Amino acid sequence: MLTLLQEVAEEAINPRFRALAEHQVLEKNPGDLVTVADREAEVLITRRLREAYPDAVVLGEEHFAENPEVVTAYAAAPHAFTVDPIDGTKNFVNGSQDHGVMVAELRGPHVIRSWIWQPQHQVAYVAERGAGAFRNGERLTRPPVADPREPRGVTSYRKWIGTSLGELPPMELTWISCAIDYPKLVEGAADYIVYRGRQPWDHAPGSLLVSEAGGFLGTFGGVPYDARTIPPRGILGAATRELYDVLVTLIP
């Protein structure tokens, strides 16, 4: 699977990086960008997945935008995949290297494997349920929080940037891409992440990476994250379950 993501990036994404024409960037909704690279990459990945796993449901971000009903089949499927062809499309459009290609595989309620390829950084994150999380083949373990009294928090919800959970330090902006954010959480660049966006293709891959590295991902409602559903309010990732249990009581 990682090879597939790398090949698709070389074919559909990298040639357009910092080379997009104006007509190759569109808006699905106000402020929600999509490019020809997103659409072509998703078609290529989805085609290969369906060839290899004809009975699986594939939930792709761009396919969902055109056919929202696919999420119902995805939620009920015994075998499914999520596909995010370019996570961090705005970064990609703006020439930032902070974007990635992501796929997660689910069996029933569980994410069993996930892949994140950061094509400009040439870094791969792979996780397998019960077998660990890896960066370019090296096992990842979430480092301890440097100062448990002042954990570093980041959020993609711009209204909360500069605000605090309880008496903790103000939250900063994430890297504006789950394909970057979740690896940063695992590697210790942040101690917790707060999201209002809740779509499975954004969070399913990172959820397994975080849990296999020793972190925890849950909802604002205090329950573990379930990649088959879209939580009603938001998602909170933390370096440890203990930190999550403290932080979730502070969510407004």
- Looking up residue 208, the CATH number of its domain turns out to be 3.40.190.80
117/192 same-domain check: no
61-72 pLDDT tens trace: 989 988 999 999
Q: How far is CA 181 from CA 12, 125, 131, 166, in A?
A: 23, 12, 22, 23
pLDDT classification of 33: cutoffs 50, 70, 90: confident
157 residue type, one letter? Y
Same domain, 169 and 199: yes
Count: domains in the chain: 2
Q: Is the pLDDT of residue 228 over 80?
A: yes
By C-alpha distance, which of 212, 183, 98 is closest to 193? 183
What per-residue confidence (pLDDT) applies to 48? 97
Alpha helices in 173-239 (DSSP H): 178-187, 200-212
Predicted confidence at residue 118, as pLDDT, reads 98
Residues 6 or more apart whose CB falls under 8 angstroms from that of 246 comprise none
Do 165 and 71 share a structural domain?
no
The residue type at 227: A
Whole-prediction pTM: 0.95
- Please report how many Cα atoms fall inside a 13 Å half-sphere around the Cα of residue 47, on the Cβ side: 7
Each residue of 12-22: pLDDT tens digit? 999 999 998 88
Average pLDDT over the chain reads 95
Residue 194 structural domain: 153-250
* pLDDT confidence of residue 129: 98
Question: Which pLDDT does position 191 carry in this prediction?
Answer: 98
> Hey, how many other C-beta atoms are within 10 angstroms of the C-beta on 24?
15
For range 132-153, the mean pLDDT: 96
Last residue of a domain, one of 79, 114, 139: 139
Q: Per-residue pLDDT for 28 more than 90?
A: no
Predicted local distance difference test score (pLDDT) of residue 205: 98
Asked if the structure places residue 89 within a domain, the reply is yes
